[in-house]
Amino acid sequence: MKIVKAVVYGKKHTEFPLDMLRYDRCCTYREADSSFLKRMLQVFTDRSDTRGWRIVVCKRVDANEKQPFTTKRWESFGVNIKILEEIDAVPQSEFVHPHQKVGS
């Protein structure tokens, strides 16, 4: 297993496609990204103040997986995703989602 970190970025007036987190089985990387996403969703009620944005996401993948994110699908929502880093040595206890057991 490895962790893949990527940045999702959009232009002014582009909403973050929340369902893509579920679709690509990923999550925000840091608390700061989660907080920013929450604030951004509240700001979209008044689009006049929105600027370009970027949020770092991550996911656990098999070591041999070549295409961890569905790039074209992200782009269909008007946003881009770019892989930042692949972390090969991940302790088993890190990045365990609530529905997963440690070691699975």
Class of domain 2-87: alpha beta
Q: What is the pLDDT of residue 84?
A: 94
pLDDT, tens digit, 9 for 90 and up, residues 52-99? 788 999 999 988 888 899 999 999 999 999 999 998 865 555 555 555
Rounded (5°) CA angle 68-73-76: 150
Q: What is the pLDDT of residue 89?
A: 64
Alpha-carbon distance of 69 to 74, in angstroms, equals: 8
- What does pTM read for this prediction? 0.72
Q: Which residue matches tokens 């907080």?
A: 35
Q: What average pLDDT does range 19-46 have in this prediction?
A: 82
HSE (CB half, 13 Å, CA atoms) of 59?
A: 18
Question: Domain residue spans in the chain?
Answer: 2-87
With bands split at pLDDT 50, 70 and 90, how would you rate the model's confidence at 104?
very low
DSSP H helices in the chain: 19-23, 31-43, 71-76
Alpha-carbon distance of 82 to 100, in angstroms, equals: 26
Q: Which of 81, 101, 100, 84 is nearest to 24 (CA)?
A: 81
Q: What's the chain's average pLDDT? A: 80
